[in-house]
């Protein structure tokens, strides 16, 4: 799968048949692995705004191409679908092990593991704050709702920073540098 990302990312923009072959391979892999289309589409829609923003930025580049937006969007979507399939098929700890085996060591895999570990806590804090907001507010005006959501976001950020500092101090006490 990583080979596909490298092939798509580093292929010349003028050779479009490579993108067709990779796309056909991905469609075959999706069908063979029976990946639900809804799962794939929802994950792809999470990254699609970023892909479109990068594609729109490519319109202002100095590259002389016929369709720079289309090329960037197709390449990015092929890479995103490949990564989504890979994350669906391979457990997270094996991804971390693979990152370390190819030489990406140090802090990056550790940060990924900690993020993966504490994401459920962050989501639980978000649910608690939303429940508290719903029990204290009885209005549905959009301006007040946005102000309340901004307050919740700020409180969530403060709690996350406080908790991450406690985790960091506990790790330092156990010998992590």
Cα angle vertex 148, ends 146, 154, to 5°? Answer: 100
User: Do 7 and 82 sit in the same domain of this protein?
Assistant: yes
User: Do 43 and 81 sit in the same domain of this protein?
Assistant: yes
pLDDT value of residue 152: 81
pTM of the entire predicted model: 0.63
- Return the sign of the alpha-carbon dihedral for residues 28, 29, 35, 40: negative
CB 80 within 8 A of CB 51: yes
pLDDT value of residue 155: 86
- Number of folded domains that form the chain: 2
User: Do 71 and 7 sit in the same domain of this protein?
Assistant: yes
Residue 62, classed as helix, strand or coil, is coil
Whether the per-residue pLDDT at 42 is higher than 90: the answer is yes
Q: Which domain holds residue 147?
A: 105-173
Question: Among the three residues 56, 89, 122, which one is the final residue of a domain in this structure?
Answer: 89
Segment 98-113, tens digit of pLDDT:
888 888 878 888 888 8
User: Do 113 and 53 sit in the same domain of this protein?
Assistant: no
CA distance 80 to 92: 17
User: Do 77 and 122 sit in the same domain of this protein?
Assistant: no
Segment 102-158, tens digit of pLDDT:
888 788 888 888 888 888 888 888 888 778 877 776 666 666 777 777 888 888 888
Segment 20-38, tens digit of pLDDT:
888 898 899 899 989 898 9
């Amino acid at each position: 799968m990583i080979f596909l990302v490298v092939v798509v990312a580093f292929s010349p923009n003028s050779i479009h048949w490579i993108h067709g072959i990779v796309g056909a391979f991905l469609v075959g892999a999706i069908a063979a692995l029976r990946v639900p289309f809804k799962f794939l589409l929802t994950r792809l829609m999470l990254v699609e705004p970023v892909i479109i923003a990068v594609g729109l930025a490519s319109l202002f580049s100095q590259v002389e191409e016929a369709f720079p937006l289309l090329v960037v969007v197709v390449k990015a979507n092929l890479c995103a679908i490949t990564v989504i399939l890979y994350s669906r098929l391979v457990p997270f700890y094996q991804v971390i092990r693979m990152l370390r085996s190819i030489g990406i060591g140090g802090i990056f895999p550790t940060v990924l593991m900690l993020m993966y570990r504490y994401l459920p806590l962050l989501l639980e804090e978000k649910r608690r704050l939303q429940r508290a907001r719903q029990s204290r507010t009885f209005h549905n005006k959009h301006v007040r709702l946005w102000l309340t959501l901004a307050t919740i976001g700020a409180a969530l950020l403060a709690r996350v920073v406080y908790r991450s500092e406690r985790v960091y101090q506990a790790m330092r006490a156990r010998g992590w540098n």
